[in-house]
Structure 1
């Protein structure tokens, strides 16, 4: 329901009108954290967090049924210090259904045909080389990378039961604390790991 970078939070505008009511609860929480709130004032713009991938260097926005060009333009206007590239995604798919960050320089990507097409486009749009960890199952490509205090890094990823063919790939992150996290019940409603968190990258005041 929000895209957060630094001290700025862009409240997204889901395609589903009923879900737009959820942004008010998110607004209250983020206001308490003293973030600068930005609203999408164009009623025709749609943007969902599940279509936005921030690499730490740039944004990729998946153009899908849920996110349109105008939504991507508002994101670009909000975060002008970063490049914003739009990427078409297959019908019924959201960008984070097929990829997510696995670290500062690594993107985890599904090995499906539709995901490989998206990856090829993203590689053409960026001037930076990212490492790619390929996983055989789409659900395994939706992970949450968390940079912890000091040198501690964490990766929330689907469990062995959910993605039996992909879990071994995460063992390549030898310096991470791996946290298998079940999302099987939420997935029945179309949710994924990254759908249930807002990552805030800022220094604590102590």
Structure 2
């Protein structure tokens, strides 16, 4: 492993508003239903009708927390009703240090979402790397950011219906200072549906059988020993951690009404400022909290 940085230092958050076409995108209900069933959700959850106004309110709470409580500079891309899934901004870029890799989502209709994000990261003076189709290849590399877990030491890339090995290879070639390991996603639609970073060296992960299997593979592929915090609900495993000013630890997480069984486990994270952030409407479409933002450390102040 060639490089290590302190995890959680960010200066900016890039988000994209919830469009009026929310819930009418390529994440069709049949596929979301299959994905939810795979992670143990009730089949009826997939058929639930999304509430646009509620989704927009929840998005406002998330952005308010990032800006007003955590203290990040917020860059909000306007919603585009022609791109109904574009609020899932995490999928279209992987950002580390001075480099932003513009990804290639699995669904063709989602690839236009990258253009606005590309403009924003260019304005932040990041080095932009494009993931394009390989010449003569009808399939090509696919990669979605919600399948990418960066720990501060290395990348884990989930191989799923949305991300393939070729996509992981492009990521490895882009971020050569860090080790990159691939793991099949067991019991989850995407890697970050079942795990996230809860702090430096701390992985928060679902206690489901599939997530445990994925974790065992991750542990076999790394030479670093991470602290592991298991939570009983899949949705609670996706958090947003930020190390704020004065080394203050912030954790945005699903609230008790959405993940009642996981609150006791999360409280094991000592001296954190917990920011309950609802995500029920996005979750109906297979998304999580981290799906709605891209975090950037423009100043690179690691300490």
With normalisation by structure 2, the TM-score equals 0.66
Give the CA deviation at 1:186. Answer: 1.2
Matches of residues 1-206 of structure 1 in structure 2 within 5 Å? Answer: 1-43=92-134, 44-90=140-186, 93-203=189-299
For residues 192 and 36 of structure 1, what CA distance do their matches in structure 2 show? Answer: 27
Runs of at least 4 residues off by over 3 Å? none
Report which structure shows greater RCO (CA 8 Å, sep ≥6): 2
Q: 184-193 vs 56-65, which deviates more?
A: 184-193
| Contact 2:258 2:280 survives alignment (8 Å) | yes
Unaligned runs of 5+ in 1: none
- Count residues in correspondence: 205
RMSD: 1.4
Give the CA deviation at 1:204. Answer: 7.1
For residues 174 and 90 of structure 1, what CA distance do their matches in structure 2 show? Answer: 29
Unaligned runs of 5+ in 2: 1-91, 135-139
Give the CA deviation at 1:148. Answer: 1.1
* CA deviation map 1:66-118 (0-9, x unaligned): 00000000000000000000001137621001000000110001000000000
For residues 187 and 113 of structure 2, what CA distance do their matches in structure 1 show? Answer: 25
Alpha-carbon distance change, 127 to 31 in structure 1, aligned in 2, over 3 angstroms: same
Q: Which residue of 1 aligns with 2:15?
A: none
For residues 137 and 194 of structure 1, what CA distance do their matches in structure 2 show? Answer: 16
Give the CA deviation at 1:158. Answer: 0.4
For residues 194 and 172 of structure 2, what CA distance do their matches in structure 1 show? Answer: 22
With normalisation by structure 1, the TM-score equals 0.96
For residues 107 and 174 of structure 1, what CA distance do their matches in structure 2 show? Answer: 15
